[in-house]
A and B are shown apart, each in its own frame.
Chain A
C-alpha cells in the first residue's frame, strides 16, 4: 500500500514534465507550400475587376521575376500590407494579384481606397490557383522567377521589415 499511493503522483509528474518540455519546444504553425522550387501550375484566370487584365501561367515566363500576391478585398491584413506593396511597386517590382473569392465591385472599391500596386489582377473564385500553388490563407506572397518557377513564399501580411527580404529574394531569382 505504502508505495502504491505515490504511484499516481509520480505518473502525473512524468506527464507534467513531458508536457512542459513539449511546450518549450518551438512549434511551427505555418503551413508552408510544398511547391517551392516547382513550376507554377497551369492556370488562366479572368480579370477581377473592370479595366484590369487577367493572369495566366504564360505571363510569368518572360524572364522577369515577379511577385504573386494572393489577397482579397474582404481580408483585413491585406489592407495592412497595401502600403508595403505600394513601396515594392515603386521599387519597380511587377506584382500580379490574385483576388480570392471576391466580387468585382468590392475589388474596385478596395483598389480605389488602398491603391493599386498590381500590373494584373485575376479572380480565383474557387481558390483553385491558391490551392494549386500551396497557399493556405490570405494574404500570401510568392516570388516567381523569370521561368515561372516558384522560388519563395511569404506567409501573412508583408510588414515593413519584410520588404528588403522580398527585394533580396527577387534579386536572387533574377
Chain B
C-alpha cells in the first residue's frame, strides 16, 4: 500500500509538471494578464508537495525493510542499523533519482511561492522551463527507474548495501551534491526564462544569484565531503584521483564558480549579459553530462554505479532535449541581447572576466580529459587519463587565475589604475617571491607544489586586503563571504601543495612489539586482534604512535570483511595534529607472521578540507547576506507604497 501510494504521488506530480510546463508556455505566448497564467505557480507548489510524499513513502519502505519492494530487497538488509537503512533509500540509482526530482520540485515550489522580483512573464517562462526539466526526470523515473516496483514474490532477505557506503559521511555526500545539481537546474530555468522573454536584466541576475550561491555551497560541501571520504575510507592515502565521477562533480563546480562571479557582475554592473546566460546553460549541462557519464557506464570508473545502457540512452535524450534546446535558443536569441555596460581591462569586471575565462579553460581541460577515453575508444584505443595530464595542464590556467584572484577584489568597478593599489600589489609580490625562494632553494620543492605554496601564502594574505581602510562593522556580509571564500581557496591550496611536497610514506612488515619510523613519528605495533561489528568482522592492529618522542597516541586501523555482500575494506586510522595527519593502514599477514603496515605522515593535509569548508562558509555568508538584503529591500519597497497610500488618503 505504501509503495502504491508513493507511485501514485509520483504520477500526479508528473501530471502537474506537465501542466506547469504547458500553462507556462501558453501564458508566455499570450502575454501579460492571461487567465491561464494563474495555473502556473499553484501547480509548481502542489507538485512539490506530491514529490515529497513520494520520497517520504520510499523512506518509510526502507525504514520497515519491506522486502516485497524490489529496490528495498536489492539495497537493504533487515540487520542494518536504521540510519543506513534510511540512507539506503538514496544510495542507489532509483532512490537517488527520486531524491533529485523531489529536491527539484521543492525548489520549483519555493520560487513559485517567493520570487516576486522578476516581470511576471519571465517568471512564467522560468517555471515553464522548470516544468519541462522536471517532466523529463519524472518520465525517466516512472518509465525506466521506478523505485516502487514490487517483486512477484517477496525476497527472504535483502541483498545489503555496499559496505563501503555504510558510512555516515557518505550517506550525506550524494544528497549534498544533488542539492548542488538541482540548484543549477533552477539557474538553468532562470536563464531559459530570461532568454525566452529577452529580459536579461540585473533583476534577473539578483533573482538567480541565491540559487547559484546555494548550489555552489552544496557542490563545494559535496566535493569536500567526497574527497575526505575517499581519503580515509579507501585507504589509498590520496584525496583526489581525477576519476570520471570526481570530475563529474568538479566540472559543475567550476562552471558554477564562473557563473557565480559573472552573475555578480550582471547584478551590480549590468554587464556580461550573454556570458552569464551561456554559463547558466553550461553549468546545468555539466551536471547532466556528469550524471550521464556515471550512470550510462560508458566510462570506466572506480565508482561502480548500477550502470545501464538503456538508462544511459534515456539521460542522453533528456540531455539532448534540454541542453540542445537551450543552446539552440541561445544561438537564436544571443544576437538580440545587448552586451550591456562596458568596462576597461583594469577594473573589477576585467579581473572577473579574466578569471571567468581561466575557469572555463580549466573546465574545458577537465572535460576533455574525462571525455578523451570515450573519443579514443571510438577508434578502439583504450587509454586512461590521469594526474600527469590534469595537474600540470590545469596549473597553466590556475596560476594566472590565482594571481588575478589576489588582485581583482582590490580593483574598482568599471575603471581603475594599478598604481592606486601599488602597496597591496607590492606586498603580494613580495610574499610570493620570498616563499618561492625559501621553499625552492632551501627545501627544494618540485615546481607545482612550489607554485602552490607561494601563491597560497600570497593569496591567503591578499584575500584580506580589500578590508584595508574600511570600517569593519560596515563591511557587508556578502563581502565577508568573498573574503572568507578566497581565503579558503588559499588555505586549501597550501594544504594540497604541502601534502604533495612534504608527505612521507613507509611500507613496513612488522611483528607485534616492533617499531618503525615515518617522518617525525615512531610507530609501534602493540598487537593484532580480531574484532566484530554488526555485519562485519575485522582484524584490528593496535598501534601506538609517538610524535617526536612525545606522549604516544593509540591508532587502530582495521581490515574489515563484510558478509552481505562479501567485500573487504580497509579502515584507515588517522591521528590528527595541528600540523598534519598520520595515516595508518593495516594490510595482509606475510607468510613469516609479520603484518604489513602502510604509514603516511602528511604535513598540513587537513588544510585541504578546512579550506574547502571555509570556501563553503564564505558562500553561505554571501547567500545569507544577499537574502537579508533582499528582505530589507522588499520591506522598504512595501513601506514606500504604504506611505504613498497614506499621503494620498490624507490629500
Contacts and interface: CB of A to CB of B under 8 A. Distances in A.
A27 B335 contact: no
Contacts of B320: 16
30 contacts: A1-B334, A1-B335, A2-B335, A5-B334, A6-B331, A8-B327, A8-B331, A9-B328, A13-B324, A15-B289, A16-B320, A16-B324, A18-B374, A19-B296, A20-B313, A20-B316, A21-B378, A23-B309, A23-B312, A25-B377, A27-B297, A27-B309, A29-B297, A72-B566, A74-B563, A74-B564, A74-B566, A76-B155, A100-B566, A101-B566
Nearest to B375: A18
A9 B331 contact: yes
B122 interface: no
Interface of B: 155, 159, 278, 281-282, 285, 289, 292, 296-298, 309, 312-313, 316, 319-320, 323-324, 327-328, 330-331, 334-335, 371, 374-375, 377-378, 561, 563-564, 566
A12 interface: yes
A25 B297 CA distance: 12
Nearest to A21: B378
A102 B289 CA distance: 42
A127 interface: yes
A154 B323 CA distance: 43
A161 interface: no
A5 B319 contact: no
Given A8-B331, A16-B324, A18-B378, 10 more contacts: A1-B335, A2-B335, A5-B335, A16-B319, A18-B374, A20-B316, A74-B564, A74-B566, A76-B159, A127-B566
Contacts of B282: 8
Interface string A88-132: 000000000000110000000000000000000000000100000
B292 A8 contact: no
Contacts, number: 69
Overall SS of chain B's interface: helix
B331 A16 contact: no
Contacts of A27: 297-298, 309
A76 B159 CA distance: 9
Given A19-B292, A101-B563, A101-B566, A9 B313 contact: no
Interface of A: 1-2, 5-6, 8-9, 12-13, 15-16, 18-23, 25, 27, 29, 72, 74, 76, 100-101, 127, 138
Shortest 6 CB-CB contacts between residues of A and residues of B:
A9-B327, A5-B334, A5-B331, A6-B331, A101-B566, A22-B298
Contact of B316 (A23, A72, A101): A23
Contacts of B564: 74
B324 A12 contact: yes
B451 to A, nearest CB: 31
A9 B285 CA distance: 12
B374 A22 contact: yes
Given A16-B324, A18-B374, A74-B563, A8 B278 contact: yes
A22 B378 contact: yes
Contacts of A16: 316, 319-320, 324
